[in-house]
Chain A
């Protein structure tokens, strides 16, 4: 296997993961904000959010596997699972490990949302707000492309997109029409004895 090909793949997949992850975060926020139109109802946003999240995990796996198997880096599998255990840029790479594990938790809990319940799923989903900054910092501090103009531009665009979306959510609040409809339906079919 061509070692430089592995290294290029690691870097490329890392950059793609950052863009995808940022898009997933923005779509998630758009979904909460019920941004929609006649031709683009909200459930499509949610579907795209889900599919892109799964795709992010694919690119992240590629990013991690190619980095670990690259004989030149000598990272070892432990660095991929245990944060801050790598000899190479211990701190910055550790942030990436944490971000990956948080994302894994977010995706896995989403896949079994029906089993663990809405409340637990929601708690874990809030970890997005930790995973995304860790991923961004990891990209800023690690790798051959850190500080390069093209990666910096990409990172800046991702940060602006997410910050604008988060700021917008913060300003408009998170009124959830699904939750409203759910509670009014539940009231209509609630036959518990009044206590």
Chain B
């Protein structure tokens, strides 16, 4: 691992970095604008919230639709259950995020910046509001903090817009995309807080950053957040997290909307958005989850399916009823053993649900299930009945 870039400086566990320390370490904030957008396009920075969309292109689109009244939402809702990287960054490097948000506002001609922070991320909320108090009066007037409810869909970009606009964190139908019509109908840039922190570095150095924040979770000795070089083999990241605590059955790459990978092919995977995409995988929000061989894979999947079904905002029938039916079928297999009819239904209903929600929640869940059934095909096909739920 080479030098950290976002988490360089004082130990992140010591908490919020003061503004004086931040400026002494990195220098003053450069100017945002058209040149910065073009620099971001050239560096190829991609979003770190999950979708991995090219940042420069998004800023260009919002700047074009802005008419001088765009809104920037710095997204620190972090509703992904095992992800910790956004709250760690907010709790330790608030000024990096504020710098990035101010650069975004200047570049897309925004008058308002909203910091959307998960309401249970207490240290992050304290750190960000403390940091905001240290900024100029102009910035303090521009920026406000909105606490997001701790639900899976609350961090989806249209849901953050709906939260800021109407106070209700449910996704809305797209199009229109927030970048065309977001907060109050204005063009809105929704950008993950880690992404904004990268921008704050790139604007200062004029060069691409080459690190990524990941959260290593599950069967490792020291689970937590790491800043690793882009392209680091997944196995090296696991070693940095103390190594696997027991034999590994499978690795979930990219969080719940990511993909399951067998350990044999997982360790050599490069942690790099483009390289993973070329393999049909995704870095997503950077969660690397290890499932130990001692756990029943089908029961783990059934438990996650029940959680994801319960996180449907119940606005679309196919999502609410379809995901519940899929989770129920998985649970039946987990509890009563494999039934060929249920296996068939999982396949057929997956196809029925996909693409039928206003947001991408049902699609993400179906892809998670498809990946699980591919990786744990044998487990699903020959699952014995369990006396009680283990997940």
A-side interface residues toward B, CB under 8 Å? 31, 36, 38-39, 41-44, 46-47, 114-115, 178, 181-182, 184-186, 188-193
Contacts and interface: CB of A to CB of B under 8 A. Distances in A.
Interface string B147-171: 1110100100000000100111110
B370 interface: no
B320 A178 contact: yes
A43 B146 CA distance: 35
B9 interface: no
A91 B80 CA distance: 61
Nearest to A181: B314
A125 B173 CA distance: 20
Contact of B322 (A41, A190, A193): A41
Interface stretch (B13-21, B55-63, B82-90, B345-353): B345-353
A9 to B, nearest CB: 33
Given A39-B341, A43-B318, A115-B173, A191 B352 contact: no
B318 A46 contact: yes
B106 to A, nearest CB: 29
A114 B358 contact: yes
B318 A47 contact: yes
Given A178-B317, A178-B320, A192 B349 contact: no
A39 B148 CA distance: 37
Given A182-B315, A190-B168, A47 B352 contact: yes
Contact of A43 (B173, B315, B353): B353
Most chain B CB within a 10 A radius of its CB, from A43, A47, A184, A186? A43
Contacts of B321: 36, 41-43, 46, 178
A191 B320 CA distance: 22
Given A182-B313, A182-B315, A43 B170 contact: no
A115 B356 CA distance: 15
Interface of B: 146-149, 151, 154, 163, 166-170, 173, 312-315, 317-318, 320-322, 324-325, 328, 341, 345, 349, 352-353, 356, 358
Interchain residue pairs A-B with the least CB separation, the first 8: A192-B167, A114-B173, A41-B325, A181-B314, A43-B321, A189-B169, A182-B314, A43-B322
A44 B352 contact: yes
Contacts of A189: 149, 151, 154, 163, 168-170, 313
Contacts, number: 76
B317 to A, nearest CB: 5
A67 B141 CA distance: 68
A28 to B, nearest CB: 12
A192 B166 contact: yes
7 contacts: A31-B317, A43-B352, A43-B356, A185-B170, A185-B312, A186-B168, A190-B168
Given A189-B151, A192-B167, 10 more contacts: A43-B317, A43-B322, A43-B325, A43-B349, A178-B314, A189-B154, A189-B163, A191-B167, A191-B169, A192-B168
A184 B151 CA distance: 13
Contacts of B341: 39
Contacts of B315: 182
Contacts of A193: 167
Contact of A42 (B149, B168, B313, B317): B317
A185 B311 CA distance: 9
A39 to B, nearest CB: 7
A31 B149 CA distance: 31
Contacts of A190: 167-168
Contacts of A114: 173, 358
A100 B210 CA distance: 61
Contacts of A44: 349, 352
A38 B322 CA distance: 12
A189 B166 CA distance: 11
B163 A191 contact: yes
Nearest to A192: B167
A191 B149 contact: yes
A44 B351 CA distance: 11
B322 A191 contact: no
A191 B318 contact: no
Nearest to B169: A189
Given A114-B173, A191-B147, A191-B163, A46 B168 contact: no
A193 B318 CA distance: 32
B317 A185 contact: no
Nearest to A187: B168
A188 B146 CA distance: 16
B171 to A, nearest CB: 10
Contacts of B168: 186, 189-192
A188 B320 contact: no
Nearest to A179: B314
A131 B283 CA distance: 51
A84 B269 CA distance: 70
Contacts of B320: 43, 178, 181-182
A174 to B, nearest CB: 14
Most chain A CB within a 10 A radius of its CB, from B148, B315, B317? B317
A186 B171 CA distance: 11
Contacts of B328: 38
Contacts of B170: 185-186, 189
Contact of A188 (B147, B149, B312): B149
